[in-house]
Structure 1
């Protein structure tokens, strides 16, 4: 008895509210102003203890009766006037409370008990509606005291309590269910459209937006109680799981979504790591949805969500200032306005008694829908802009292909027009050699000079035209012998008689996967480059070797080399080093070599040669 006195208070001198009356014309009677409450944080007391010894406090806007766990007791008295209907329904929220029990006093001091709450599947409830609902049979003109016991691992929130005529409640529930159905239908459209577009465009931000909308649907399904209407077998595990997905999954999706939309990785690298890893870690508490610690985790989650929201709004402002012409960023910033409005309502409810305490819950659904709608419009705008950019890129690609085709046609025509007279000259010299078999040595030497010059000119034309073709060259990979490719390039050079060339072949694979024609062009260009820039009395060295899964063709000369700041520039088209002096050339050969190496998945690189000169290494994979 002393324990009860200590817990409930030594005095019961609290003014009790007047009984709520239901009359003939009453369709529903809100219980605001008729309720008192008692906190039982240890969940230690029975209905008898509470009825006999409990000291209840009046429910006011400043004292609504709200705790994060344990048990809350509510009490009110109701009287049915003469002629009023006998059957009534007591309905109240918040819907996602585990254990709800309604006790009605009977003559003699005993109680009838009705079990409610989300621990029970909806099919076991007397009235399967969104809210907690219990049937009451009220005697005429006799005050009846009703006790409500609320117990939950999650936050306990008591709101929207009222007595209803069954038909009036059915009508109100049908209307609310229809509104929630429209809400869910709109969000389903958001989800499906963004999933399809996100997969089509490979846009991760659209996919994460769809995930965020799904978590919002889970949160609304539990908080509104609509899951009870949809899934008749839904009990506590499903409600806890949906609630955890809505809370922690929502925070995770929110963080990753804004990380992608804001491109935080580029704009705020440190914040990117916080958002990305924070979003992943926020998924862990979902697995503790039915654990006793979930209530504590949920409280921390609310603080984290507030911090993330403030951080995201701040970044939105900064990005709008950084990129004032970006319309999409302005859309994103506007999407936060409903969230800020919701915060204002919730803070106002705490400060100003005239604002209903549960107004924030009503505004929450509207603010969330506006937030999601603005983001949907923003992503729609992003889709339109992306499609326009793709259309422009496709048009540019078509024009480029047409230009390349015209270029290829011109190159083929130019090749023919250049080679035809050269072939005539070469043929004429051969005819002269046949007609003058006993020509003087000087004439024979002149004939050879002419043919070598023609061959050199043909090679020069091939190099220039191949450089122009480099953008449109096609790769024809086949198993070829790398040693044969190098030997053929060396043999072709020896035929020109331009100077000494030495070849060194290390053990090479029998075959490699390559285009022999293109590799021959690349080696010819490197060898030609070495002859033109190297001293005439110094040999050109060609080395072929295998290293790991790569084949390296190296061409070395004793020329002036390349300045360090030009080591990369020399592979650009039309670039010629100041050191080239009067040496003929067009800056095409090395660019062509780089293009062919890249097509093979390889590289070409320059480095100074020991003892002076240049070393160019063409590296390609074996397969």
Structure 2
């Protein structure tokens, strides 16, 4: 429903629901109702201790004259009202309605009536004890109570809240008709408020916005306060508990004042602009609500008057805030206007209660009229805010959708470009993969050709070298060739063939290291077999080799031919770098899970900066100039050791010589297929590497 249409409907309902239209004040001509205000005078009883006899003895001049008689003094005293009934008052039954519902005690005395005929009504009297079941006190006068004319009635009104007297005489039938209209209009009034409460609860439940829950509580408090102030709660819900009605009325009035103050500053959003005003309003709100507890210990009149003055003092500050927000926040003008109506109505009601505003029908019903208009405008404002927020949300959603469509288009184009790039890249990678596969196949074929060539060359070279070596050794033993010069030349020939053989075996071993591990056979062997096989290649050529082992060492496991080349390379390096007068020691040791074979020389050692570089391929030490070699021996020895689960490390490289340690894993328990070569079954004689 559009907010303007809802506002029109609710204002129409408010016009019908105005309580002022329910009371007729001059039915004298038609026999309906008589306003007794012009016929009434009053006198204050500050202590509330006067009796009816004391009042009757007072002269008529002691009573002051006034229209609707009101006093806003919150105290324990009383007001005595003297009513001279008109002389032309028609005889018959009359009902007297002396005051509104919220008066603690009202008593009726008539001249010539006995004291036990006094009737006591008000909020202190249970509703079920009333002779006329109406929300306000009603005294039923006997048919002869006003006959003959000139009779005088006395009313004693006592209350700790504002005292308001509007004495009116009604014919019973006219009163019944008026009560029916009034109850119908009040029902419409409460129905509008109840509908607003339900609408706000629905919006809160549907939208999950706390603001609508706060507004529903605000409206519910106002509705409950009106039900209590107008006497409906005592009639419908607490007919036998007047004390509960009195306390609830005053407690809910204080809670409503405090909550209204807090809710108002929340709704007009002054917290960001004036934090001090927001803090002050919250503090005053707590003070007003705390009055609910003070009512249990202090006189009700004192508490209510103090809280009412606090609220009155806050009204100018709140009005200033409303004016400032009207100018600064155009989007809050509906809310500001609604609270402006509420401020005007409540100010008029409080001024009327405190005696600051003249009493009239508008002043008496200012809270009811302004309250309904305020509630309607506030609900319309919240609905308008909801509509505006939905419109803004729709606009933001449309803009976001447009941006999303643009981003989707951009992303789609980007993805298409990336997809094309990926297709191109995939094609390029496939072409590169094909080239790589072809290159790999070519490399494999080249490697196979190289292996075949190396194997062929080594086979072709071994035979003549072996023949030359054997001939050289036999010539050295021939008696006719014993001359030193010939023996020296034969020895050179022997060493040359030995170096040629060692070079072939080294390159063949490096080629074998590139084969898959599963292609190389491994065996379990005794450490002395490995040392003997390596030493046999050098003992005939150089007697400086001191190689020894013992049978107590555990068996090793690995590729014996390759390990023989590794140890032979270590021995060959030690012999090359040691002086001619020093020996090279080879010893084996048990190191737990491996056997350690140390090769010790007496050469110049290895400089600190070269101790890792010498294990690289084709790298030689700085002192290797003038000595034969290609820089492949140590690299190959370490690679063979690691390939067999061991390692080769430089234990000591000082100036007094170097010690290389070859570590070989210990063999497990020999299985049925494993073999253990003995010294005689060691690797075939090969020369040391370079």
- Are 2:72 and 2:163, in contact at CA under 8 Å, matched by a contact in 1? yes
Distance 2:413 2:240 in 1: 74
Distance 1:27 1:438 in 2: 124
With over 3 angstroms needed to count, the CA separation of the structure-2 counterparts of 1:394 and 1:97, relative to structure 1, is same
User: Which moves more between the two structures, 381-390 or 227-236?
Assistant: 227-236
User: Which moves more between the two structures, 371-380 or 68-77?
Assistant: 68-77
With over 3 angstroms needed to count, the CA separation of the structure-2 counterparts of 1:215 and 1:245, relative to structure 1, is farther
With over 3 angstroms needed to count, the CA separation of the structure-2 counterparts of 1:122 and 1:290, relative to structure 1, is farther
With over 3 angstroms needed to count, the CA separation of the structure-2 counterparts of 1:343 and 1:93, relative to structure 1, is same
Distance 2:331 2:106 in 1: 50
1:362 aligned onto 2:365: yes
Give the match for residue 428 of structure 1: 431
With over 3 angstroms needed to count, the CA separation of the structure-2 counterparts of 1:308 and 1:190, relative to structure 1, is farther
Give the match for residue 472 of structure 1: none
Give the match for residue 391 of structure 2: 388
Shift of 1:308: 3.1
Partner of residue 376 from structure 1, selected from 376, 379, 386 = 379
Structure with the largest fraction of strand: 1
Distance 1:172 1:67 in 2: 31
- Are 2:127 and 2:239, in contact at CA under 8 Å, matched by a contact in 1? yes
- Are 1:121 and 1:235, in contact at CA under 8 Å, matched by a contact in 2? yes
Distance 1:369 1:126 in 2: 32
Q: Which has the higher contact order (CA 8 A, sep 6+)?
A: 2
Distance 1:99 1:352 in 2: 24
User: Which moves more between the two structures, 334-343 or 211-220?
Assistant: 334-343
Distance 2:339 2:350 in 1: 19
Partner of residue 144 from structure 1, selected from 138, 151, 156 = 151
Distance 2:356 2:290 in 1: 38
What per-residue deviation string (whole Å, max 9, x for no partner) do you get for residues 346-373 of structure 1?
86999999x5456411233212222222
Give the match for residue 552 of structure 1: none
Q: Secondary structure at the match of 2:118?
A: strand
User: Which moves more between the two structures, 412-421 or 332-341?
Assistant: 332-341
Shift of 1:382: 0.9
1:120 aligned onto 2:125: yes
What per-residue deviation string (whole Å, max 9, x for no partner) do you get for residues 258-304 of structure 1?
22222222121121222234334432222445654332221122222
User: Which moves more between the two structures, 373-382 or 48-57?
Assistant: 48-57
Mapping 1:167-566, distance limit 5 Å? 167-231=173-237, 233=239, 235-289=241-295, 292-323=298-329, 326-329=330-333, 331-333=335-337, 335-337=339-341, 339-340=343-344, 343=347, 356-357=359-360, 359-403=362-406, 405-406=408-409, 409-437=412-440
Partner of residue 30 from structure 1, selected from 17, 32, 35 = 35
Distance 1:426 1:273 in 2: 71
Give the match for residue 133 of structure 1: 138
Distance 2:48 2:96 in 1: 23
With over 3 angstroms needed to count, the CA separation of the structure-2 counterparts of 1:294 and 1:418, relative to structure 1, is farther
Give the match for residue 604 of structure 1: none
- Are 2:291 and 2:307, in contact at CA under 8 Å, matched by a contact in 1? no
Q: Secondary structure at the match of 1:126?
A: coil
Shift of 1:232: 5.9
Shift of 1:125: 0.8
With over 3 angstroms needed to count, the CA separation of the structure-2 counterparts of 1:123 and 1:111, relative to structure 1, is closer
Mapping 1:153-164, distance limit 5 Å? 154-164=160-170
Distance 1:200 1:378 in 2: 18
Distance 1:166 1:212 in 2: 38
Distance 1:62 1:164 in 2: 17
What per-residue deviation string (whole Å, max 9, x for no partner) do you get for residues 551-600 of structure 1?
xxxxxxxxxxxxxxxxxxxxxxxxxxxxxxxxxxxxxxxxxxxxxxxxxx
Shift of 1:193: 1.1
Distance 2:67 2:85 in 1: 24
Distance 2:57 2:94 in 1: 26
TM-score (norm 2): 0.54
Distance 1:32 1:213 in 2: 35
Q: Secondary structure at the match of 1:307?
A: helix
Structure 1: gaps of 5 or more residues = 1-20, 441-623
Distance 2:312 2:440 in 1: 100
With over 3 angstroms needed to count, the CA separation of the structure-2 counterparts of 1:298 and 1:54, relative to structure 1, is farther
Distance 1:22 1:110 in 2: 32
Distance 1:129 1:390 in 2: 52
Distance 1:278 1:22 in 2: 47
With over 3 angstroms needed to count, the CA separation of the structure-2 counterparts of 1:317 and 1:114, relative to structure 1, is same
Structure 2: gaps of 5 or more residues = 1-25, 444-690
Aligned residues: 418
Distance 2:351 2:281 in 1: 27
Distance 1:291 1:171 in 2: 43
Partner of residue 77 from structure 2, selected from 47, 71, 81 = 71
Distance 2:28 2:267 in 1: 57
- Are 2:322 and 2:340, in contact at CA under 8 Å, matched by a contact in 1? no
Distance 1:435 1:212 in 2: 86
With over 3 angstroms needed to count, the CA separation of the structure-2 counterparts of 1:81 and 1:150, relative to structure 1, is closer
Distance 2:339 2:288 in 1: 23
Give the match for residue 15 of structure 1: none
With over 3 angstroms needed to count, the CA separation of the structure-2 counterparts of 1:433 and 1:295, relative to structure 1, is same
- Are 1:103 and 1:147, in contact at CA under 8 Å, matched by a contact in 2? yes
Distance 1:344 1:232 in 2: 30
Shift of 1:230: 3.6
With over 3 angstroms needed to count, the CA separation of the structure-2 counterparts of 1:149 and 1:259, relative to structure 1, is same
Distance 1:350 1:67 in 2: 7
